[in-house]
Amino acid sequence: MSYDIEVYGRAALPLPGCEAITKGGLALEGSSDDESVIRVVHEPSGEYCFMIEGPYDVADDDPDELPSGLRSDLRYRYLIVVERAEQPHIDHALASAARLASAVAGVSVDLQADAGRSSARAADPRVPKEPERYLHVQWYRRFDEHSRSLASQYVESAETVLPAALPVSFGLSEPLREKFAREGVDGVDRLYRDECARRRLVFRGKRPLISGFIDAWSDEFIAELHFVKLVFAASELSKPQFASALENFFVDLAQRSKSFFAFAEVNSSQFSPSQALPQWGEWPGLPQSPPWLSWFSPDYAELVQPHLTAGEQCAVPGGLLYRSSLPPTNISASWSEQGSWVPADFVPEQNDPDNHRQSTATARTMPSALRSANPVVKVG
């Protein structure tokens, strides 16, 4: 269960280096997943405290999701999440929210204490609130001559198969100024080709799409992975029509982008899927536990197919779709039963006590094309 706080402000204050957050013995750590997400830790121990995300343009939010009586001049929103909902993390988060609200000339809203939500969002106080769940979907591909086309591939796939995945706003940094209704596919494609050689393209959507980004297309960095990341509200999976369309979109974009691996999983954290983070730039390996959906390129499928015995395999042009036996709405968790997922050789070691997602050694088994020859990138 998380402890959530929102801050609404007149100004859009960038998170990196924000003094309003770092007061009180705190420090900031950038997120490797999203430039608009910052981890806040205690100094000098480095213990993780909470996450802060934003600023978002309030105009992109559903009016029913906003606090009642919100001032019309408050244009930007920040979200602070204490994922473990423990003291003293909550007190630090509340104090930081108050300081941030002052810095952006706005207000902070404690979502646990606020009773002023509109009737569309009100709940019977006698019924315990279900914790929010999030659907994480990510596609991974190698850099090639088509890397600049990834944004257009994404939008064209969404338009054709899953319109709910289309962005409402997009840009290079928050607040996002470009509107998809005005710019369309050509605008997204043009901005990505022209401006995203070294910067990712960030976008926000309308629920169920919460956020996403498309990684920079240049292979001049140390990273050897090119990927797309999306976060949806997982509650939408209870609708069979959406779940079916999401699966079709998952496969369609994997085929268009020539992804070597993709996954879709439900998680209790909006910010942290279970997939391991690369220590440098090399592909770390497969997730420790089976996602709801997995996509494998032909060379990966040849290696994993004999081990995927607990779910359903479906060979399609360009790769292999695997549905685990987990219902799509179940939170992914480590499985210990034999045959439920791939052997340990296919997954990375993750022995960093301060960051359970960080890979400390890459998987011993993967397609040879994913094994880096760069000694700077290679870690194990």
What letter does residue 101 receive in the DSSP assignment?
H
Please state, in angstroms and rounded to a whole number, the distance separating the CA atoms of residues 135 and 271.
Answer: 11
Question: 219 falls in which pLDDT band (50, 70, 90)?
Answer: confident
Please state, in angstroms and rounded to a whole number, the distance separating the CA atoms of residues 109 and 93.
Answer: 12
What is the rounded average pLDDT for all residues in the chain?
Answer: 85
For the stretch 329-344, pLDDT in tens is 665 544 334 446 899 9
Q: In what order do the strands lie in the sheet with 48-57?
A: 26-30, 37-42, 48-57, 76-82, 3-9, 107-110
Distance of CA 77 to the CA centre of its chain: 18
Please state, in angstroms and rounded to a whole number, the distance separating the CA atoms of residues 41 and 140.
Answer: 29
**Structure-model confidence comparison of residues 102 and 36, the more confident one:** 102
Three-class SS state of 153: helix
Q: Per-residue pLDDT for 145 more than 90?
A: yes
Arithmetic mean of pLDDT, 231-259 = 95
In the numeric block, which tokens belong to residue 259?
């992804």
**Structure-model confidence comparison of residues 265 and 23, the more confident one:** 265
Count CA atoms within 13 Å of residue 195 on its CB side. 14
Please state, in angstroms and rounded to a whole number, the distance separating the CA atoms of residues 17 and 369.
Answer: 39
Please state, in angstroms and rounded to a whole number, the distance separating the CA atoms of residues 85 and 94.
Answer: 12
Count CA atoms within 13 Å of residue 219 on its CB side. 14
Tell me the percentage of the chain whose pLDDT exceeds 90: 48
In the numeric block, which tokens belong to residue 231?
């976060």
Q: Looking at residue 35, what is its pLDDT?
A: 62
For the stretch 357-377, pLDDT in tens is 888 899 999 999 998 777 656
> Which residue do the tokens 């952006």 mark?
104
* Cα 168 to Cα 2, 48, 61, 183, 248, distances in angstroms: 27, 32, 10, 10, 21
Of 75-89, 116-130, 245-259, 301-315, give the lowest mean pLDDT range.
Answer: 116-130
Measure the N-to-C terminal CA separation of the chain; round to a whole number of Å: 35
Q: Per-residue pLDDT for 11 more than 50?
A: yes
Amino acid at 40: V
Please state, in angstroms and rounded to a whole number, the distance separating the CA atoms of residues 198 and 194.
Answer: 10
In the numeric block, which tokens belong to residue 33?
């997943």
What letter does residue 182 receive in the DSSP assignment?
H
Please state, in angstroms and rounded to a whole number, the distance separating the CA atoms of residues 40 and 326.
Answer: 33
pTM across the whole model:
0.75
Please state, in angstroms and rounded to a whole number, the distance separating the CA atoms of residues 230 and 157.
Answer: 14
Nearest to 162 by CA among 273, 251, 226, 235: 251
